[in-house]
Chains A and B, each alone.
Chain A
Amino acid sequence: GAVVSQHPSWVICKSGTSVKIECRSLDFQATTMFWYRQFPKQSLMLMATSNEGSKATYEQGVEKDKFLINHASLTLSTLTVTSAHPEDSSFYICSGAGGRANVQFFGPGTRLTVL
């Protein structure tokens, strides 16, 4: 199957700093990438959808100025958590989809802890 990587796999930062998470599709072109957030023992919550070269579409209740998403190429999307606070601590997962596969392939996730 198609492979999606995320970097870093975990990050600890101080409150008020910004953190960037990278999501890469390694062996396919992801025309659409998705960013999810997952709280412990809960399902995935879609944060935003991005198409290469376009602005991301955010789900209701997600602050677009806080969670900056860039999808500059068909293989790379980034999520920047700006001015992070402890309540932003979570597991962030990206996925990519492309072509006619009609399938999302997920990255391994990034655990963010804000102190």
Chain B
Amino acid sequence: AQSVTQLDSQVPVFEEAPVELRCNYSSSVSVYLFWYVQYPNQGLQLLLKYLSGSTLVKGINGFEAEFNKSQTSFHLRKPSVHISDTAEYFCAVTPPGGGSNYKLTFGKGTLLTVNP
């Protein structure tokens, strides 16, 4: 079984400041890792994913995340945030494979609020 811990439920920052949203996971098997963003009253949009290879992955909207196997972390970062980045961010993991193995385990989410 897997579990995901998002250490901060809310992160307020000022516009153009850097931000890091923290995610740690626990799993007895290797996992794939994802960050999704959810804007109010909308579904989830994939920001980025780590499946294998380079531990630094770049996603959409200027976000990036680094997979750290020894620390079992997958923190999301952006060097300069915009007002439009205000949203809920979810970290998720899934075991490799297909079919029912696609099942995602989500963290509780981090609300990023960007203030002018």
Contacts and interface: CB of A to CB of B under 8 A. Distances in A.
Do A and B associate with each other? yes
B106 A44 contact: yes
Nearest to A10: B41
Contacts of B102: 32, 34, 49, 97, 102, 104
Interface in A91-110: 91, 93, 95, 97, 100, 102-109
A104 B109 contact: no
Contacts of B94: 102
Interface in B53-111: 90, 94, 96-100, 102-104, 106-109, 111
A93 B44 CA distance: 9
A51 interface: yes
A111 to B, nearest CB: 7
Given A43-B108, A46-B103, A103 B41 contact: no
A41 B94 CA distance: 23
A31 interface: yes
Contacts of B106: 43-44
Contacts of B116: none
A41 B108 CA distance: 9
Nearest to B49: A103
Query: How many A residues touch the partner, as a band?
Result: 20 to 34
A32 B102 CA distance: 8
Contacts of A103: 34, 46, 49
Nearest to B34: A103
Interface string B1-37: 0000000000000000000000000000000101010
B44 A102 contact: no
A57 B109 CA distance: 25
Q: Which 9 A-B pairs have the closest CB atoms?
A: A106-B44, A106-B43, A97-B102, A108-B43, A109-B43, A43-B106, A43-B108, A107-B43, A43-B109
14 contacts: A41-B111, A43-B109, A46-B103, A49-B100, A49-B103, A93-B43, A93-B44, A97-B98, A100-B98, A102-B51, A102-B98, A103-B34, A105-B46, A111-B41
